[in-house]
Amino acid sequence: MKDVLCRLAMSVAAFAAMSPVAEAQQLPVIRDRQLLVDGKPYLALGGELHNSSASSPDYMLPIWDKLQAMHVQTVIGTVSWEDIEPKEGQFDFRAVDAQIAEARKRDMRLVLIWFGAFKNAASTYAPSWVRGDTRRFPRAVVQGAMTEAFTYEGAMPKPVLSVFSPELLKADRAAFVALIKHLAEVDTNRRVIMVQVNNETGLLRDSRDRSALAEAAWKAPVPTQLLKYLSTHRSTLKPELEAIWSRKGRRSSGTWDEVFGTDWQAEEVFMAWHFARYMEALAAAGKHELALPMYVNGWLGPQEGQPMAGQYPSGGPAKRVLDVWRAAAPSLDMLSPDIYAPNVKEVLADYDHAGNPLFVPEAQFRTGDIFWALGQHRAIGYSVFGIEDGRIDGQLAQAFSALSGMDGMIAQAQAEGRIAGVLLDDGKPAVIKLGDYTITIHETMALLKQMLLDVGLQAPPPPPPLPSETEGTTARPAPGDGRAFGLIIDEGNDTFLIVGKGFTADFAIGSKLAEVDRVEEGHFNAKSWLARRVINGDERLSVIPTDRIGTIRIKLVRPAPS
């Protein structure tokens, strides 16, 4: 009888482990460059709130309904150190709890940003009891000509704490751990799926901190952990970092100047190591309480107008020092770019590096970039900044609606290399290879214009400008993305799924074009493909809309072999 009861108990436990209730208790995890939520692939598509919005639950109430109407499934909210610990050791998590409760009502997911000691290379979110005690929490010291570029007459200074302060690390870590402990207690069905550790860290106005604590660290030996990492991963290092290490003969020991030199490039490596070790300490301690995926975001650099570290935050997770961060902070699941520059394709390629999962936590309202990131770089998510300014009838909302229900399909296609992104920046054709097929992509309006010119007819007038994508507090409303963009997924058996706007696709094997067998227009829900209509006749010549985002499934007649 005892054996029977034991087996029965094991069977009940096994059943419970497979039940939806138990499945919902699984922690989100990043595995094989995929984000799994409740054990299933998940695309974190949505937007980041303005920095101060989430500090007031009342202010946020109408925003939640708007985000739901925009088909946003992931909201990046904020947690400010000064708000949750106004007095040392006394915590107030009401604003955090309100975000979780509202997300739960709408079946949304949250990513929380910890605005701790560092936010945009300053310390404006640290509590008064931290900023006001410069003896216990010393400031960073900067010097040199670069400081003049950041000095404006009448501008009040921003506090910048020193990342080398052990007391600052202790206090920041204690508050962060308190937050994660609280999430473990109250977020029982895991609305929070990731946590960002501080925000756009690094040092402005100089390439390194010159405080007494920093000077002592600069004169100390380079940690063996970093040098071993450089040696082990030499073949995959970013070329900029490999060049810095090489110019001193790839030394395996020595002080920072002996190994890397004394210019701004060497000092950026130095600052990157120490900022990364600081964030590693927070992430490791937080994961000890609740093992949520954690990441940091980076202010881009070098970039136009900011060619040197210090003009962009020195030591932050910029492209030149990504490998330093990977060596110093193994508890971080990924290093993420904030993209406000026009060279989006280049930035995405920079951060799609050495297995780093790609997640964009901040970006402009440019819908096409989302599709490129998903199709070309296996992105697990993409977020625009100031999402509450978006329009419920805007292009971005269309994109979120079209992509909803496709998480598993896109993730599997990413893992198997059966997906490609379309983004025609200059109107020129693009060529994609998927399976046996070569796919030539044309911008629909450019192709129509050329066809009319070829037969001596007047080209059509240019389309009217797209309506504004944003409303509300945005100073300059963002227009909808006028480029042709989308995703193409190879489903096998000569069938392709296409989501996007403004392009045509010609499929060929070798030199032979395929014929169209059947085209269905439709969309996905959480379970399956729902066909709306069959497109036939002349309408097959341009099956992707030019004025909105559409989804089609196209079946081809495979060309006969030669």
- pLDDT tens digits along 183-236: 999 999 999 999 999 999 999 999 999 999 999 999 999 999 999 999 999 999
**Highest-confidence range of 136-145, 147-156, 312-321, by mean pLDDT?**
312-321
**Residue 48 is which amino acid?**
E
Long-range (24+ apart) CB contacts under 8 A made by 540-544 are 540/516, 541/504, 542/444, 542/448, 542/504, 543/498, 543/504, 543/519, 544/444, 544/486, 544/498, 544/500, 544/501, 544/502, 544/503, 544/504, 544/505
What's the rounded Cα separation, in Å, for the pair 229 and 324?
8
pLDDT at 20 over 80: no
Q: Residues 474-504: pLDDT tens digits?
A: 556 677 899 999 999 999 999 999 999 999 9
How crowded is residue 185: how many other Cβ atoms within 10 Å of its Cβ?
Answer: 11
Q: What confidence tier does 22 reach under pLDDT thresholds 50, 70, 90?
A: very low
Higher-pLDDT residue of 287 and 475 is 287
Q: Residues 345-354: pLDDT tens digits?
A: 999 999 999 9
- Comparing C-alpha atoms, which of 398, 346, 377, 408 is closest to residue 502? 398
Residues in the chain: 562
Q: What confidence tier does 145 reach under pLDDT thresholds 50, 70, 90?
A: low
Q: Is 523 helix (H, G, I), strand (E, B) or coil?
A: strand
Element spanning 499, H or E: strand 495-501
What pLDDT does 203 receive?
98
How far are the Cα atoms of 33, 41, 284, 487 from residue 414, in angstroms, in the given order?
A: 9, 11, 29, 11
pLDDT at 550 over 60: yes
HSE-up of residue 303 (Cα within 13 Å, Cβ side): 20
pLDDT at 138 over 90: yes
What pLDDT does 16 receive?
38
